[in-house]
Chains A and B, each alone.
Chain A
Amino acid sequence: MAYIKKVYTRFCLVIPFLFSSLTFTEDSDYNMKVGVTDVSQSIFDLHMLIFWICVGIGIIVFSIMFWSLWKYRKSKGAVAADFDDNFWLEIGWTVAATLVLVWMAVPSTQVMVEAYDDAEGEINILITGHQWKWHYEYLEDEVGFFSNLSTSQEQIDGEVPKGEFYLREVDEPLVIPTNTRVRFLITGNDVIHSWWVPDFAVKQDAIPGFINTAWTNVPEPGIFRGACTELCGIKHAFMPVVVRAVEREEFDAFIAEKVALAEEERMLTSKIWTKEELMARGESFYATNCAACHQASGQGIPPVFPSLVGSEITMFDSKRHIEILMEGVQGSAMAAFGESYSEVDIASVITYTRQAWSNGENGDGVIVTPQDIVAYKNRIDL
């Protein structure tokens, strides 16, 4: 009896040690992230609890099984008994299994209630999944921006060495303040995406036509990297999530800058643009937003993604060209860009695709200006 007690005490001492050896490994390569929020830490503890219960059951069941296989092997002369049932044993292990499940269900329910809380946040951010980028909009300040993968195609194709944050870096991360309840309203623009930041234990599907909510409250500044976790097409692996948590003052400065930029952007619409200015802006817009499907060469991947080179529309039909950019193409992967981008962006990318790849020389070479887009919008509004 004393021996059993000694073994049991040792066993109890070993478990917390195993716990901690995992807990203190920052960014473990083989276990769940502990994360930085209260919720993510409760989820991690719950995960480890369930894991150790499973390990315990496994040790018991497998020991009995392998011991039986060893002890009752025929080569050692084992003779089979012929019992084939035991009512109370059956009842016993059914009840035992049920009790273990109740033991698991209680903490699970508590953590679930803690994680699932859809009250308003101090800051509310609308997150929209697009093929294949995220759009973030600060609802209180009415400013927003797209967040694109910033890893270069050369790194992906192995032409240059891969950087430290290969496929986990974006051009513009989402910025949130620390020690503030931030609520995310998550939706999709085209197909279903899923927004996941392991450090916050927030994973929520972005479903077109519906808005899901999630929330977090990050105690310390830092950069947190996540991913899209619902298959959303070709570039599913290439639309990471990056969140930068900053002190409140820095956050306010960030928002003020964004508001000023948006104002500047609105001014640009009324400016008179030259063809060269539009081309330059259009080229970079095209590289970020269009090349995934239509390719940098403009040739697309027919028949799914049509070629823009020498097409009727890009050469001779600027009216239809504007319409496609603004409204998208029903029943295809071509999204409506009108709502999400400025008049300047739309006009410049149309101008760019009408001029590039010899479309300008072979077609009518019409230049579309931001004013044309404004006119299109006004006509629709009427």
Chain B
Amino acid sequence: MSTVVESHDHGHHGPAKGLSRWLFTTNHKDIGTLYLWFSFIMLFIGGAMAMVIRAELFQPGLQIVQPEFFNQMTTNHGLIMVFGVIMPAFVGLANWMLPMQIGAPDMALPRLNNLSFWLLPMAFGILISTLFMPEGGPNFGWTFYAPLSTTYAPSTVNFFIFSVHIMGVSSILGSINIITTIFNMRAPGMTLMKMPLFVWSWLITAYLLIAVMPVLAGVVTMMLMDINFGTSFFNAAGGGDPVLFQHVFWFFGHPEVYIMILPAFGIVSHIIETFSRKPIFGYSSMVYAMASIAILSFVVWAHHMFTVGMPLAGELFFMYSTMLIAIPTGVKVFNWVATMFRGSITFETPMLFSIAFVALFTIGGFSGLMLAIVPADFQYHDTYFVVAHFHYVLVPGALFGIIAGAYYWLPKWTGNMYDETLGKLHFWLTFISVNVTFFPMHFVGLAGMPRRYPDYALQFADFNALISVGAFMFGLTQLLFLFIVIKTIRSGKQAKPEVWEGAGDLGLEWTLTSPPPYHSFTVQPQVK
């Protein structure tokens, strides 16, 4: 048999040339790269929409856009950032890093991997094309509550539904691939409780995706039926219930929130241990905490709906269950702090982003805890306080996790070190602008400004002007990030295999050359 293998020409193992390399690739790194560039492009598209929103809200009155277009902007900004930026970026990181972290040559199902990626540009092509149709794109908020999204929606809602279906298929296929890879392709000796935390975070995330994406598909299918085939799932006049929509949507939506943060937990854990030069504190409790957060995420969905008129017992149940989530989340924060304690700490760009992640994500956690308190939520619900809360967990939370991961692994991917001075500049500009943008939102929210308003009362004017200035600064700063990434790909100091001092012992990916070979591990390493 060995002679047959020997006679193969090994030349075809390199990447194909030209466009076909990207269209037909089954290589986990190429697909990871595609995912990351896709989410980067979507970040600028969704970000441009945020700029339109902030430009309109710079001062009271309607100046730049009309409310109908404003609503399309808020809706598409949300959809693109959630489904087009944060999720694909994490999948891209998973594609790059999982095989390298578990000592495998590639993902378990490479062709499926290609399909899951190429579905995404189709889905978002359809979604964004609706903005150019005569009736305009989806304008009912990223949570698309019925009946605003059914009976009262523009007819382009059908494109939106189709696009959500395709995104769901892509996520489910991607998750199947990740679970299969993790369970079947780990290097000998890597038991479950020896897996890197990023692998653990993705294993849990993949299960969440498989559990809830079909629920999302179900709810948009019910909308499709209501709109086109005369059913009345969400129409009270036909025996349905508009609140049913919210229950089903948030049964998907709350686990979705953790889908967008768990992989960031994994990334940040690696970075903090690397730059503290000290192994992560409480590895097993980190794993249990992520698992508990995932399980609890299935029983807290109605805390998004405290004002729909649930009975007292229901309100209290969802308040208590939501408060419980603070325990495992708190444990994670304590563990990160304990990892830094008595370490030997340096402050490279990935570490700066990770420290900011811990601090600002915790602030987002505090406002989350406040929002869980039902009676107080009657005042917070659907105001800018909520907007501040979820932007704190998604921007300095999820997005900082992604950016930190990109800086951390870019030298490994490209073989070149990024420019540390520019990286630090990027961090400080981002850190300042993110707080100028989102911190005052707490104040306008508490003072009574509802979300999704294209125009507002005069008392909110000062803070809104400040928020807009911060937002423009944040948006511009990310162009610097784009520049740094391109510069690193093209040139830079040659990176060593371990890249970061002492990282060689921390994970298998640091034992490979930088950049790593096309098929990461052709011989499985042995894990002690």
| Assembled-state Cα–Cα distance A111/B374 (Å) | 9
Report yes or no: A167 in contact with B376, Cβ–Cβ below 8 A.
no
Give the interface segment out of A137-145, A151-159, A243-251.
A151-159
Judge if B319 is at the interface, Cβ distance under 8 Å.
yes
Contacts of B277 in A (CB 8 A): 74, 80
**Which residues 36-62 of A sit at the B interface, judged by CB distance below 8 A?**
39, 42-43, 46-47, 50-51, 54, 57-58, 61-62
B481 at the interface (CB under 8 A from A): no
Q: Which of B236, B342, B347, B443 contacts A209 (CB 8 A)?
A: B236
Question: With a CB–CB cut-off of 8 A, which chain B residues contact A233?
Answer: 71, 139, 148, 152
| Assembly CA distance A31 to B337 (angstroms) | 31
Q: Which residues of B contact A112 (CB under 8 A)?
A: 312, 315-316, 319, 374-375
**Shortest Cβ distance from residue B448 to the other chain A in the assembled complex, whole angstroms:** 5
- The answer to whether the Cβ of B477 comes within 8 Å of any Cβ in the partner chain is no
- Inter-chain contacts of A303 with B (CB < 8 A): 134-135
Neighbouring A residues of B340 by C-beta, 8 Å: 65, 68-69, 72
- Within 8 Å by CB of B333, from A61, A69, A75, lies A61
Q: Is the CB of A116 within 8 A of B312?
A: yes
Residue B338 is within 8 A (CB to CB) of chain A in the complex: yes
Q: Does B456 contact A237, Cβ atoms closer than 8 Å?
A: yes
Asked whether, in the complex, the Cβ of B370 is within 8 Å of the Cβ of A50, the reply is yes
Contacts of B227 in A (CB 8 A): 331
- Asked, given contacts A50-B373, A231-B145, whether A202 binds B338 with beta carbons under 8 Å apart, the answer is no
**Highest count of chain A CB atoms <10 Å: which of B134, B135, B457:** B457
- How far is it, in angstroms, between the C-alpha of A111 and the C-alpha of B347 when the chains are bound? 46
Question: Contacting A101 at CB < 8 Å: which of B312, B324, B457?
Answer: B324
Contact with B along A191-230 (1 / 0, CB 8 A): 1101010100111110111101100000000000011111
Check A229 against B450 for contact (C-beta < 8 Å). yes
What residues of chain B lie closer than 8 Å to A86, measured between beta carbons? 281-282, 338
Contact with A along B58-88 (1 / 0, CB 8 A): 0011110001100100000000000000000
The complex places the Cα of A284 from the Cα of B139 at a distance, in Å, of: 29
* Chain B residues positioned under 8 Å from A158 (CB to CB): 61-63
Q: Give the interface size bracket for A toward B.
A: 35 or more
- Which residues in A have their C-beta under 8 angstroms from that of B241? 209-210
Q: B334 to A61, Cβ gap below 8 A?
A: yes
B147, B319, B342: the one within 8 Å of A80 (CB): B342
Q: Is B429 an interface residue (CB 8 A)?
A: no
How many angstroms between the C-alpha atoms of A64 and B341 in the bound complex?
Answer: 8
Q: How far is the CA of A188 from the CA of B312 in the complex (A)?
A: 22
Find residues 67-126 in chain A having any chain B CB closer than 8 Å to their own CB. Answer: 68-69, 72-75, 78-86, 89-90, 93-94, 97-98, 101, 104-105, 108-109, 111-113, 115-116
User: What's the least CB distance linking B320 to chain A, in Å?
Assistant: 6
B224 → chain A, closest Cβ, in Å? 14
Tell me whether A204 and B68 are in contact (CB under 8 A): no
Query: Is B419 close to A, CB under 8 A?
Result: no
User: B448 to A198, Cβ gap below 8 A?
Assistant: yes
A162 to B14, CA, bound (A): 66
Query: Of B151, B308, B458, which contacts A205 at CB under 8 A?
Result: B308
A84 and B68 contact, Cβ closer than 8 Å, known pairs A98-B327, A207-B308 = no
Q: Is B491 an interface residue (CB 8 A)?
A: no
Check B214 for interface membership: any CB of A closer than 8 A.
no
Nearest-CB residue, chain B, relative to A237: B453
Task: With A194-B307, A234-B71, A238-B455 as known contacts, state yes or no: A108 contacts B333, CB within 8 Å.
Answer: no
- The answer to whether A64 touches B148 (Cβ under 8 A) is no
Q: A205-B307, A304-B154 are in contact. Are A57 and B366 (CB under 8 A)?
A: yes
Write the nearest CB–CB distance from B153 to chain A, whole angstroms.
9
B345: which of A29, A69, A164 is its contact (CB, 8 Å)?
Answer: A69
Q: Does any Cβ of B come within 8 Å of A236's Cβ?
A: yes
Closest to B305 in A: A205
* A333 on the B face (CB < 8 A): yes
The reply to whether B452 and A231 form a contact with Cβ atoms under 8 Å apart is yes
Which B residues are CB-close (under 8 A) to A82?
A: 278-279
Task: Tell me the minimal C-beta distance from A36 to chain B in angstroms.
Answer: 14
CA–CA, A68 and B237, complex, Å: 61
Residues of B within 8 A of A39 (CB): 375
Is B447 a contact partner of A80 (Cβ separation < 8 A)? no
A190 at interface by CB-CB < 8 Å: yes
Are the C-beta atoms of B152 and A162 separated by less than 8 Å?
A: no
Partner of B343, one of A61, A72, A165, A209: A72
Q: Does A301 contact B (CB under 8 A)?
A: yes
- Is B128 interfacial (CB-CB < 8 Å)? no
Q: Is the CB of A29 within 8 A of B307?
A: no
A168 CB within 8 Å of chain B = yes
Listed stretches B162-170, B174-182, B378-386, B404-412; interface member? B378-386
The distance in angstroms between the C-alpha atoms of A157 and B60, with both chains bound, is: 10
A112 to B372, CA, bound (A): 12
B331 touches A90 (CB 8 A): yes
Contact A231 B334 (CB under 8 A): no
Cβ contact within 8 Å between A84 and B281: yes
A31 touches B242 (CB 8 A): no
B104 shortest CB reach to chain A, Å? 26
Given contacts A62-B362, A231-B140, 10 further A-B contacts (CB under 8 A): A28-B446, A72-B340, A74-B346, A115-B378, A192-B148, A204-B309, A208-B242, A229-B382, A229-B451, A230-B382
A-B pairs with lowest CB-CB distance, top 7: A209-B236, A212-B309, A30-B443, A237-B453, A54-B366, A229-B382, A80-B344
Ordered by A's residue number, 7 sampled pairs between the chains whose C-beta atoms are within 8 Å are A54-B369, A64-B337, A68-B345, A108-B375, A112-B315, A191-B147, A207-B243
Tell me the B residues contacting A by CB distance below 8 Å.
Answer: 60-63, 67-68, 71, 134-136, 139-141, 145, 147-148, 151-152, 154, 227, 235-237, 241-243, 276-285, 307-309, 312, 315-316, 319-320, 323-324, 326-327, 330-331, 333-334, 337-338, 340-347, 355, 358-359, 362-363, 366, 369-370, 373-376, 378-379, 381-383, 443, 446-448, 450-460, 462-463
